[in-house]
Structure 1
Amino acid sequence: MKSVVIEQPNQLTLAERLLPQPAAGEVRVKVKLAGICGSDSHIYRGHNPFAKYPRVIGHELYGLIDAVGKDVSAERVGERVVVDPVISCGHCYPCSVGKPNVCNELVVLGVHRDGGFSEYATVPARNAWAVPAAIPDENAVMIEPFTIAANVTSQVNPTEKDIALIYGAGPMGLTTLQVLKNVYNVQQVIVADRIEERLAMAQRNGADWVINNSQQPLAEALAEKGIKPTLIVDAACHPSILQEAIALASPAARIVIMGFSSEPSQIIQQGITGKELSIFSSRLNAGKFPVVIDWLARTLIDPTKLVTHKFDYQHVTDAIELFEKDQRHCCKVLLTFN
């Protein structure tokens, strides 16, 4: 079988590998579609501190179970599945409080263990979630990205009365936008970005107001309308954003950080305690696959609004380069297999 392997930073190969056999408690998935994420690019370029090389990247994958290991029902063969990339121990403190995504022994497919940019992948059977027949393949492969938004929103408990501000109209910002508007019915969601085409995507995904903060400072734009956001989502994660979010936030607001920067953020503590702000962080997802599958089944979210490009997996280098360089026209890129 062919696999996309990052041998070392900036060295990608399409390697011929032996067909893997599922171990006890595992299934083998014949991959049909996989999505490119920023973290895949980071591993490719050597910017992910958690990755070990060589590595088959890819943690957004959809396919069919074609073999099962010991202690897994043979009835699962042929099942359409999406794969939760979070593999946890189930017994450490984080796992015991419902946060397997930060397990003390965390393993993430495509980061610590070979992932889904391959014709076949073996994964724990409990991580392979059945996809209802009514959900099309191209929506199914987008379940994992929406679990990130599900994880974020589950922590901050949005309400219809919130005034939400999202920094960044990339894939994570747009999935969160859809969830805030369509699942939680937040009446006003504002999206800030520096790229006009991305802001147009935000409008197509339901944003009530978009702001190009390269043309007008956010503080000025919000002050003109007397708006103080009660919920701020940082999906851009530049070091300067956190302090600005603290300054812009309404008293008693919630701020959630979706990613990370290797550079420090300077913040003034008085701004946090003076308003009694709550600051959250979110990594991966904590068992949110059933939640997103239910949203899709009820057509509350629409992944088709995010997918802009598809490539055969053999052109993965071109696909990643497009994802990295064309932020004006590229949002979600899918790879097709088999």
Structure 2
Amino acid sequence: MKSVVIEQPGELVLADRPLPQPAAGEVRIKVHYASICGSDVHIWRGHNPFARYPRVIGHEFFGVIDAVGPDTDARRLGQRVAVDPVVSCGHCYPCRVGRPNVCQTLQVIGVHRDGGFSEYALAPAANAHPLPPSVPDKLASLVEPFTIAANITAFLQPQPQDVALIYGAGPMGLTAIQVLKGVYGVQQVLVVDRLPERLTLAQENGADRVFNNSEIALAAQLEGVQPTLIIDAACHPAILAEAAALASPAARIGLLGFSGEPCSITQQALTSKELSLFTSRLNSHRFPQVIAWMEQGLIQPQKLVTHFFPLAETARAMTLFEQDPRTCCKVMLQMA
């Protein structure tokens, strides 16, 4: 089978690998589509501290179960599935309290174990979620990125009367817009970014107002509006301090970032307004929730997709994703 392997940072190859065989509790998936995430590029470039090399990358993928492990229900053969990349132990403290995404022995498919940029991939049977016919093959890998928005909004508990501000109109920011508008009915969603093309995408995905802060500070443009809910989907260390300064008293702030750079903020900036600060990593059993949202038409994943490439052109696809944020959003890989 053909697989995209990062042999070491900077070295991407399309390799011939043996067909994997599912172990107990696993299924094998014939992958049909996968989508590129920024973390895939970070693994390629050597900027993901969690990655282990060599690695078949890809944690957003969809396919059909074509083999099962010795103790797995054979009736699952032929099921169309989206794969949750979060693999947890099930018994540590985070797992026991429903937070497997921060399991003490967490493994992520496509990061710690081989992923879905391949003609075939393995996954725990419990991580392969059946899809209804209403979710089309070419969009099914996008369940995973929407689970990121589902996870942070579960903490933030948006209300229709919230004034929501999203930093960043990349794929994570756009999924957050759609979830706030389509699922929670938030009436005012504001989005800030430095690229006009991304702000146009934000409007197409439901943003009510957009702001370009490349030259004029956001505070000057908000004209006194105090957001009650803020999501940082841009992940720059300077954002938290600005968000706290702009936020309404009693507001909630959600962080999606993984920057290793320090950020400077005082306790007073948070406690004087009694701000609630939430962090979110990956997703915690959100696949069924997002699949239901797709089935009900509450979110529109097709609005994120800008490009399709065959698996053989993964390097070209990832380079485009990395270098052309103005015209590129979600890039899809087709296996056959």
Superposition pairs for residues 2-21 of structure 1, below 5 Å? Answer: 2-21=2-21
Deviations 1:203-248 (A, max 9, x none): 00000000001132111111x2x31000000000101101000100
Deviations 1:163-206 (A, max 9, x none): 00000000000000000001000000000000000000000000
1:133-282 mapped onto 2 (5 Å cutoff): 133-222=133-222, 224=223, 226-282=224-280
Kept in 1, the 8 Å contact 2:56–2:115? The answer is yes
- Structure 1 runs of 4+ aligned residues shifted over 2 Å read none
Partners of 2:140 and 2:318 in 1: CA distance: 21
The aligned counterpart of 2:290 is 292
Instruction: State yes or no: 1:309 paired with 2:307.
Output: yes
Aligned to 1:120: 120
Per the alignment, residue 316 of structure 2 pairs with: 318
Q: Does 1:111 align with 2:111?
A: yes
The 1-side partners of 2:73 and 2:330 are apart by 34
Q: Secondary structure at the match of 1:275?
A: coil
Q: Which amino acid aligns with 2:146?
A: F
Q: CA RMSD in A?
A: 0.6
Determine the C-alpha separation between the residues in 2 that align with 1:227 and 1:324. Answer: 34
- Give the number of aligned pairs: 336
Match of 2:123, SS state, is strand
**Alpha-carbon distance in 2 for matches of 1:184, 1:172:** 17
Deviations 1:18-39 (A, max 9, x none): 0000001110000000010000
CA distance in structure 2 between the partners assigned to 1:195 and 1:171 by the alignment: 13
Of the structure 1 ranges 48-57 and 138-147, higher mean CA displacement relative to structure 2 is found in: 138-147
Distance 1:215 1:300 in 2: 35
Structure 1 gaps of 5+ residues are none
Gapped runs of 5+ residues in structure 2? none
Moved more, 135-144 or 35-44: 135-144
Q: Distance in 2 between matches of 1:120 and 1:132?
A: 21
Secondary structure of the structure 2 residue equivalent to 1:142:
helix
Question: Post-superposition shift, 1:138?
Answer: 2.0
- CA distance in 2 between partners of 1:134 and 1:163 (Å): 32
1:42 Cα deviation from its structure 2 partner: 0.3
Offset of residue 139 of structure 1 = 2.3
Contact kept in structure 1, 2:236 and 2:257, CA below 8 Å: no
Superposition deviation, residue 14 in structure 1: 0.7
Q: Secondary structure at 2:283's aligned position in 1?
A: coil
Q: Which amino acid aligns with 1:154?
A: A
Amino acid at match of 1:168: G
Q: Secondary structure at the match of 2:186?
A: coil
SS of equivalent residue, structure 1 residue 262: coil
The percent identity for this pair of structures is 65
Matched AA of 1:215:
E
Post-superposition offset of 1:259:
1.5
Give the counterpart letter for 2:277 in structure 1.
I
Partner of 1:70: 70
Give the corresponding residue for 1:90.
Answer: 90
